Amino acid sequence: MNVLVLNAGSSSQKSCLYNIDTDLPDRPSSPLWEAKVDWPHHQGAAELTVKTASGTVQEALETNSREVVLSRMLTTLWEGKTQVLAQPSDVAVVGHRVVHGGQDYYESIVITPQVKETIARLATFAPLHNPANLEGIVAVERILGTSIPQVAVFDTAFHSQLPLPAAVYPIPYSWFSKGIRRYGFHGISYQYCSQRSAQLLERPLDTLRLIICHLGNGCSLAAIRNGRSIDTTMGFTPLEGLMMGTRSGSIDPGILLYLLREENFSGDELGQMLNRESGLKGVSGVSNDMRQITAAVAANNAQAQLAFDAYIHRLRSAIGGMVATLGGLDALVFTAGVGENSPAVRSAACETLAFLGLELDAAKNQQSPVDQDIATANSAVRVLVVKTEEDWTIAQECWRLVRS
């Protein structure tokens, strides 16, 4: 079964094609084809990279049309240097990461017109993501046709059993009945990383207390006990919680009231500022990319140093709160772009956790670890770096639904 996965993020689009046999492997299989699209900060351009065993294609596309970019990306499946399929109809199913499922969807589902309408309605809650997810679904229909089934895999589903005290906001309860509650995100990543952590620790997942740090352009934490999410930092939307690449994370809501009343900000202007002009980018004035922030810190840029320090301060605070919620900690897990690739962030996050008996092995931390324990042998808390496999998890869900 050829399973095509489209994973649209806030600043990039990752896609891959898996060929899954009659039995689903315990560990991720290597994709036959991988593609990534980056949208640089300047408008009207996209950067496409496609990789297969037979070659790599890199192109700059002078367009801001997601459908045009996806069309070009998909044609590399059956044409040119990176061809792995004879024809478009060789794709059996297409899976999409969809960020917000609201109270409508607590598990993966085959996409219908009603599902598309719901994803569009929920775009209000995830303005950087749901519209991109929906554009991908519509583009696939136009390019591959409607006879190929598509599956929506929701980031919110993993957190659907959050305890009510963690899910409810301290506002009039009538709002909760209208769906204003904590949903949580990055659930596809958490689902995979919790299972992989249990494999690495050689312990049953239902015996573990984990804090997983999903640190990318979007950042969140999840406290996982007995395989279930019991707390997470993102909430009603992916804007809450940690300081992120361009998103503010949690701030005093009084600031927003002040800006509305005294500075005459509109709702759209606040949304733009909080989602696209804040976080690392807003504080540093340099970039939303942690690699560029750390380079600026090394060059003695004081504002970049402040951004890094604020990012770490909030990360440490959130980890500490989740330790209390869990009543202890068996493993601290780092994943996603920053979590997997920034020794400086991992080291700084762990530095103040010695009171838990956590000891980081500095040498292991610097050696580009993948699916490894980077704590010392004597550490009372294990520290894992896990390569998240969201795409593989989506492919698993597609295989399960199509087979059933």
**Alpha carbon distance 386, 146 (integer Å):** 36
Asked if pLDDT for residue 9 goes beyond 70, the answer is no
Average pLDDT, the chain: 93
The DSSP secondary structure of 277-314, one letter per residue, reads S-HHHHHHSS-S-HHHHHHHHHTT-HHHHHHHHHHHHH
Nearest residue to 163 via CA among 332, 390, 326, 320: 326
Q: Where are the alpha helices (DSSP H) in 204-335?
A: 253-262, 267-276, 279-284, 290-298, 302-326
pLDDT of amino acid 11: 67
What does the pLDDT look like over 205-216, one tens digit per residue?
A: 999 999 999 999
Residue 61: CB atoms within 10 Å: 16
Q: Which amino acid is at 399?
A: W
Read off the pLDDT band of 102 (50, 70, 90).
Answer: confident
- Domain ranges across the chain: 2-154, 203-385
Q: What angle do CA 235, 199, 9 make, to 5 degrees?
A: 35
Task: Please compute, for residue 110, the number of CA atoms within 13 A of its CA located in the half-sphere on the CB side.
Answer: 12
What is the average pLDDT across 325-334?
98
Asked if pLDDT for residue 341 goes beyond 90, the answer is yes
Same fold for the pair 2-154 and 203-385: yes
> What residues form DSSP beta bridges with 56?
51
What does the pLDDT look like over 256-275, one tens digit per residue?
A: 999 999 999 999 999 999 99
Buried b (16+ CB within 10 A) or exposed e, 180-193: bbbbbbbbbbbbbb
Q: Which two tokens stand for residue 240?
A: 């809450």
Q: Which two tokens stand for residue 135?
A: 């554009």
Which listed residue (104, 155, 268, 361) is catalytic? 155
CATH number for the domain whose boundaries are 2-154: 3.30.420.40
Whether CATH 3.30.420.40 fits 203-385: yes
Asked if pLDDT for residue 27 goes beyond 90, the answer is no
Residue 250's Cβ-count burial label (10 Å; 0-12, 13-18, 19+) is: middle
Buried b (16+ CB within 10 A) or exposed e, 275-303: bbebbbbbbbebbbbbeebbebbeeebee
**Alpha carbon distance 135, 99 (integer Å):** 13
pLDDT of amino acid 12: 76
Q: Which two tokens stand for residue 127?
A: 């303005």
Read off the pLDDT band of 151 (50, 70, 90).
Answer: very high
- Those residues whose C-beta lies under 8 Å from the C-beta of residue 63, and which sit 6 or more positions away, are 44, 45, 46, 69
pLDDT of amino acid 265: 96
Say which residue the tokens 């976080």 belong to. 279
Q: Specify whether 155 is catalytic.
A: yes
